[in-house]
Amino acid sequence: MNNAQVIATYESILSITEQMLEAAKKKDWDHLQSLEIDCKVAIASILAVNSDPLTGEYQQRKVEIIHKMLADDAEIRNITQPWMTNLDNLMTHSGQEDQLN
């Protein structure tokens, strides 16, 4: 994979994370989960490739993309974490009711 192809793959992953953020904002959990799978597949594809280290503008663009992906990921976690905590509380409460019955 040449430098341009590597960057194109990173940009594809960035596009997926941006879509994930939009799905999280809309509380579209099914779509978010589907996109998360797509993201994992795309990341696995780039990790499976042996390419030469990026240089110059390609390396700079990769760093920019990764910073944006990390920012999107943090925002997604800020949106989903309260929902996950609430779900965990509901499941714990439900389990306690079952034990009482």
pTM, 2 dp: 0.80
Give the closest residue to 19 by CA, choosing from 72, 59, 97. 72
pLDDT attached to residue 16: 98
Residue 32: exposed, middle, or buried by beta-carbon count in 10 A (0-12, 13-18, 19+)? Answer: buried
What is the DSSP secondary structure assignment for residue 31, as one 8-state letter?
Answer: H
Report domain 3-100's class: mainly alpha
pLDDT value at residue 98: 54
Domain spans, the chain: 3-100
pLDDT at 52: 83
Task: Answer for the pair 67, 10: CB distance below 8 angstroms, yes or no.
Answer: no
Answer for the pair 7, 61: CB distance below 8 angstroms, yes or no. Answer: yes
> Which residue numbers in the chain have pLDDT < 70?
93-101
Distance CA 63, CA 12 (A): 14
